[in-house]
């Protein structure tokens, strides 16, 4: 595994990330991405050993360490909560990332690799998924970041991990803005949602229909509509208040989903505008449904 470089935090502690979530949702890919970024990664670590991992990291002067924990470790939820509490008592706040995917996506992935789900026993893959989802319900709710990988390929997941963990530390709040189309469903990992369907749809303008919100003509059309500028001004004011509150609560990752009907024109243009006007923050932008029609 690659060694980390750079200075340790002002309190001398290493950055710690815990990757968990549904089997088949991409934990191994996430682990590989972190290793490529110079994180020291331990796979399949029993939650009870997290404090021990921190001790070893301190002795080795490692600045960034990550642990992949999952249901292969029994008494998972209780052990993980206890381990995080132990770390908190030492003044360490690990960043918990939960990877998930839809049932359909998980079934396809297990069928493609021709392996059983680790919790299906004598039942079906869907039985195992249901059991694991129930077991992880509380962990998901307590996680700092929930990342839905249903529509992500390996390269896209690696890119998301690089965007989140490519810096020298993970102490600053990072905002991920994703545009989407309501007809394809709301992103399940969204913390905040902005609806742009009140604006006229460029789809009905023949010259704009083949273009996207990334094109200047569509952007100018969307921003020129009544209410567009007022919406941006008002929403950004609310967003700044929300993000400040998330920071006070210790959140490190927030996902803002910006939606329109198809995820091609209005939501893309508004998402890009929000990102541009948050220039002082750590922001990434992605367009989930662009090119899907």
Q: How many angstroms separate the first and last alpha carbons of the chain?
A: 41
List, in order, residues 6 or more apart from 223 with CB less than 8 Å away.
Answer: 229, 232, 269, 273
Task: Count Cβ atoms below 10 Å from residue 51 Cβ, excluding itself.
Answer: 17
Average pLDDT, integer, range 167-191 = 83
pLDDT confidence of residue 75: 62
Bigger pLDDT: 104 vs 170? 104
Cα–Cα distance for residue pair 258/268, rounded to 1 Å: 8
Higher pLDDT, 267 or 166: 267
Q: What is the pLDDT of residue 159?
A: 83
d(CA 235, CA 237): 5
Q: Mean pLDDT score of the chain, rounded to an integer?
A: 87
pLDDT at 74 over 60: no
Reply yes or no on whether the pLDDT at 5 is more than 80: no
Higher pLDDT, 11 or 229: 229
Other CB atoms within 10 Å distance of the CB of residue 5: 9
So what's the pLDDT on residue 200?
Answer: 97
Q: What is the pLDDT of residues 25-69, one digit of tens each?
A: 999 999 999 988 889 999 888 888 888 888 888 888 888 899 998
Average pLDDT over residues 268-288: 92
Q: Percent of the chain having pLDDT more than 90?
A: 48
Distance CA 238, CA 15 (A): 30
Higher pLDDT, 212 or 121: 212
Helix 27-36, helix 154-165: angle, nearest 10: 50
Q: What is the pLDDT of residue 8?
A: 39
Q: Characterize the bridge pairing of strands 253-260 and 145-148.
A: unpaired
Spatial strand order in the sheet of 15-21: 40-43, 64-68, 15-21, 95-100, 145-148
Task: Assign 13 a pLDDT band (cuts: 50, 70, 90).
Answer: low
Q: Report how far residue 169's alpha carbon sits from residue 158's, in angstroms, rounded to the nearest whole number.
A: 18
How far does Cα 146 stand from its chain's mean position? 5
132-162 pLDDT tens trace = 998 888 888 888 889 999 988 888 888 888 8
Question: Is the pLDDT assigned to residue 107 strictly greater than 90?
Answer: yes
| 243 vs 162 pLDDT, higher one | 243
170 has pLDDT over 80: no
pLDDT at site 36: 86
**pLDDT attached to residue 269:** 98
Average pLDDT over residues 263-288: 93
pLDDT tens digits, 110-128 = 988 888 888 888 899 999 9
104, exposed or middle or buried, with CB in 10 Å at 0-12, 13-18, 19+?
exposed
> Where residue 165 falls among pLDDT bands split at 50, 70, 90?
confident
Q: Write the CB contacts of 29 (distance below 8 Å, at least 6 apart in sequence).
A: 154, 157, 158, 161
Which pLDDT band holds residue 264 (cuts at 50, 70, 90)? very high
């Amino acid at each position: 595994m690659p060694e980390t470089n750079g200075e340790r935090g002002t309190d001398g502690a290493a950055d710690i990330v815990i990757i968990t979530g549904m089997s088949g949702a991409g934990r191994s890919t996430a682990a590989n991405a972190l290793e490529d970024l110079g994180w020291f990664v331990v796979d399949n670590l029993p939650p009870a050993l997290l404090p021990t991992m921190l001790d070893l990291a301190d002795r080795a002067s490692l600045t960034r360490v990550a642990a992949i924990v999952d249901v292969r470790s029994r008494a998972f939820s209780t052990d993980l909560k206890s381990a995080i509490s132990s770390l908190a008592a030492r003044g360490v706040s690990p960043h918990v990332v939960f990877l998930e995917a839809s049932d359909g996506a998980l079934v396809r992935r297990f069928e493609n690799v021709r392996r059983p789900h680790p919790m299906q026993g004598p039942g079906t893959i869907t039985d195992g998924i249901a059991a694991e989802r129930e077991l992880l319900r509380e962990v998901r709710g307590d996680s700092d970041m929930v990342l839905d990988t249903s529509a992500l390929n390996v390269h896209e997941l690696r890119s998301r991990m690089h965007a989140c963990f490519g810096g020298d530390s993970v102490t600053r709040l990072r905002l991920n803005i994703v545009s989407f189309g309501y007809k394809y469903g709301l992103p399940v990992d969204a913390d905040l949602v902005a609806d742009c369907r009140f604006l006229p749809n460029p789809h009905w303008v023949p010259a704009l229909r083949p273009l996207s919100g990334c094109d200047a003509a569509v952007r100018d059309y969307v921003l020129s509509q009544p209410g567009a500028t007022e919406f941006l001004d008002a929403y950004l004011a609310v967003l700044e208040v929300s993000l400040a509150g998330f920071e006070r609560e210790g959140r490190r990752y927030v996902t803002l989903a910006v939606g329109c009907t198809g995820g091609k024109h209005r939501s893309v243009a508004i998402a890009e505008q929000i990102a541009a006007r948050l220039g002082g923050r750590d922001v990434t932008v992605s367009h989930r449904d662009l090119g899907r029609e």
